[in-house]
Each structure stands twice: as C-alpha cells, then as structure tokens.
C-alpha cells in the first residue's frame, strides 16, 4: 500500500532532576554536598532512508517519544542520558510544522538527518551550587522539558521524468515497456491508483544514461482542486525534470477533441501552483496502432505550431518506443548538465 501523507506527534525526553545529597563517610570530615546532575533526555531524530518508499509505517503509529534522563544521585553521580530515537522516512519527504505550516526540512538525498525535537537538559545537583560562603546548599534544578512537536509529512517522489495525461491514455503500459515496473493495467479509468516508479537505462557501457520515470495517476479537469485523485498525486511531479504528455489518438477514449484535452491538462498543471507548466514537455501520440488518422494529424499540426517535440508510439506493438526512450534520455542528460552548470542559488 502506498501512503504519501502522514501526521505525527513526537516528544523528546525530559531531563532528569538534579540531586540534593551530602557526603557521609567514615574518616571523611566535612564531606559536603554531593548531589549529582540529572541526565539529558533523548532527542527525536528524523533520517532519510532508501529502504523506505512510503509513509505507511506512520499510519498506525503516529506518536513517538524519546527516553527521559535519569535523576542525579549522591556521590556526585550524574544520571543516565535518555535514549534518542530515530524515525526513518523515504527520500523525497518534506516535513511541515502542523501548527504553523512552516516547511522544516526537505529530504532530497539518502542519510540526511535533523533533530526534529530537542531533549530537555539535565538539572544541576546541589554540588554545583557550593561556594566558599555557601558550603551546604540545598538548591537543585529540575530537569528541562523535552520539545513536543506536531508534524505533517508529505512524500514527493524523486523522478527525472513524469508521465501525465488523462486516465487510460497508456501511461502504465508505456512504463511497463521501458522499465521493469509492472503496474496494474486495465481498460477502465483510474486503474492506476498510486504512482509507479520505473528505472530506465539507455545506451551501452560508459555512455549509458539511467533515469527514473514516474507514472502518475490520470488527471481530469479540476484535478488541481481535488477532482479525481487531484492534488493527492500532482505533487509527485514537482521534482521531475521533464514531463511526457500522452494523448490518446484512437477513438476509444470517448473524448472527441484532443486539443481540448491538452488544454485541460496544461491548465491543471498551471493551476497547481508549483511552476509545473514551465517544465520541458515531450508530446506523445499513444495507441497509434488503432489511431484515428484525423486525430493523429490534428495533434501533429498542434505540436508543429507550438514547436513541441512529437513522438507517435504504440506501447502494444512497440512502434516508436525506442525513439521516445532515447529522446527522454537525451533531454534528461541535457537538463542534468544544465543544472550542474547553473546550480540553484
């Protein structure tokens, strides 16, 4: 099961209290104060892991608490520190403060970590308060309270290429042809209920280009406002470098105007508000094995007019698949090189 949203409550451990004690030993005159300090509580740490690919493990376990520090003891014994806990999240997780909406951390690579809730410090024992004029102090400090935080976690997949289009235009079939991904494929709308990732390798040996393709559940009009599967999955193409827009040129779609379909998808990407409309696009005519010649010609004229790269394919017969795959690899590599030359400020 794929889960890409979670709300969690975390609490760091409280610090232990300082101790009030006086040394009482035979042959030790005027032993004086010997109360030890309390131990620090445990921190709550978040860390990105490649072994996790969903937030499902938070669904039935939304509360997490680190260990508290032990109190100080006599003979100047410091209390034991509380145990830290580490919460593993998938790469691509964004952490938001549930109360303020502030973005706290964005996990963009494996093994990144940050302290999500800081522990309370240990309190000082009375030995810390002894001075030349105050030789028998009875003061001590209570341990500090650990932070309690409420977070909202969002998972945004890290992929190079995002496949977009209406339901049943052939996105899942395409990703199954170009990668080892095996999504569910059927002839009814919204067969794909969760994103699928596939790794594609193009070329040979040292010149091989490897990139990740994300198959996003089909969009419909109003998706940016939550219609269909809506914003639940639109955010998964925020991080992609390239969009591949599939358009069904057969008569099986039941939608007579392909230019209106393109306008709807473009509008949903723009209205989502993450500059998705600014991403490079490859336009793909899918299902050309059963294409309506008029629809195919209309789409080709549109791409020529808009100066969009155009690739007719049939994921069933394999026609046009190699050309599209190489075009995707070339564009991804170009965008990677450009990102290295012009890193974000």
Sheet holding 148-155, edge to edge: 63-65, 5-11, 148-155, 93-97, 103-106
What's the pLDDT tens digit per position in 204-214? Answer: 756 788 888 88
Which one has a higher pLDDT value, 78 or 155? 78
C-alpha–C-alpha distance, residues 22 and 29, integer Å: 12
**Two tokens, residue 101:** 């909406």
C-alpha–C-alpha distance, residues 185 and 35, integer Å: 69
**Rounded average pLDDT over 97-105:** 94
Instruction: Indicate whether 226 pLDDT > 50.
Output: no
Instruction: Indicate whether 271 pLDDT > 60.
Output: yes
C-alpha–C-alpha distance, residues 126 and 73, integer Å: 10
Domains of the chain in start order, with CATH, are 1-155 (2.70.210.12), 161-341 (3.40.50.300)
What's the pLDDT tens digit per position in 104-138? Answer: 999 988 999 999 999 999 999 999 999 988 988 99
Angle at 156 between CA 153 and CA 158, to 5 degrees: 140
What's the pLDDT tens digit per position in 274-317? Answer: 788 889 999 999 999 988 899 999 999 999 999 999 999 998 88
| Amino acid 218: pLDDT | 64
Instruction: Indicate whether 190 pLDDT > 70.
Output: no
Angle at 280 between CA 213 and CA 338, to 5 degrees: 90
Helix axes 321-341, 171-178, angle to 10 degrees: 80
pLDDT tier at 188, thresholds 50, 70, 90:
very low
pLDDT tier at 321, thresholds 50, 70, 90:
very high
Q: What average pLDDT does the chain have?
A: 86
Kindly state the helix (H) or strand (E) to which residue 199 belongs, with its residue range: strand 196-202
Q: What percent of the chain shows pLDDT beyond 90?
A: 50
pLDDT tier at 173, thresholds 50, 70, 90:
confident
Instruction: Indicate whether 339 pLDDT > 60.
Output: yes
Q: Decide: residue 82, CB within 10 A, 0-12 exposed, 13-18 middle, 19+ buried.
A: buried
| Amino acid 3: pLDDT | 72
| Amino acid 216: pLDDT | 79
- Alpha helices for the chain (secondary structure H): 171-178, 231-234, 258-271, 293-306, 321-341
pLDDT tier at 221, thresholds 50, 70, 90:
low
Q: What are phi and psi of 71, to 5 degrees?
A: -70, 155
């Amino acid at each position: 099961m794929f889960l890409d949203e979670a709300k969690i409550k975390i609490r760091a451990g409280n610090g232990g209290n300082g101790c009030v004690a006086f040394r009482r030993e035979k042959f030790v005159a005027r032993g004086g104060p010997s109360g030890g300090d309390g131990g620090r509580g445990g921190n709550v740490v978040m860390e990105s892991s490649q072994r996790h690919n969903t937030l499902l493990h938070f669904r039935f376990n939304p509360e997490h608490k680190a260990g508290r520090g032990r109190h100080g003891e006599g003979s100047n014994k410091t209390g034991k520190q509380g145990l830290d806990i580490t919460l593993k999240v998938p790469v691509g997780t964004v952490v938001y403060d549930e109360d303020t909406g502030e973005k706290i951390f964005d996990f963009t690579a494996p093994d990144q970590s940050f302290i999500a809730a800081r522990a309370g410090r240990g309190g000082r024992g009375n030995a810390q308060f002894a001075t030349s004029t105050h030789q028998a102090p009875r003061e001590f400090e209570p341990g500090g309270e650990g932070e309690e935080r409420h977070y909202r976690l969002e998972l945004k997949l890290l992929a190079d290429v995002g496949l977009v289009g209406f339901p049943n235009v052939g996105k899942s079939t395409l990703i199954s042809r170009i990668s080892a991904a095996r999504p569910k494929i059927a002839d009814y709308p919204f067969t794909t209920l969760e994103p699928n990732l596939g790794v594609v390798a193009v070329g040979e040996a040292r010149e091989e280009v490897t990139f990740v393709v994300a198959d996003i559940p089909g969009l419909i009009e109003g998706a940016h406002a939550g219609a269909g599967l809506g914003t639940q999955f639109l955010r998964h193409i925020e991080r992609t470098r390239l969009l591949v827009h599939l358009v069904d040129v057969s008569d099986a779609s039941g939608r007579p105007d392909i230019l209106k379909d393109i306008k709807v998808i473009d509008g949903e990407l723009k209205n989502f508000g993450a500059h998705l409309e600014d991403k490079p696009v490859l336009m793909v005519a899918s299902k050309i094995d059963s294409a309506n010649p008029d629809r195919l010609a209309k789409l080709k004229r549109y791409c020529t007019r808009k100066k969009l790269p155009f690739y007719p394919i049939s994921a069933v017969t394999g026609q046009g698949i190699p050309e599209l795959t190489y075009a995707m690899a070339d564009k991804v590599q170009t965008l990677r090189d450009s990102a290295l030359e012009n890193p974000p400020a």
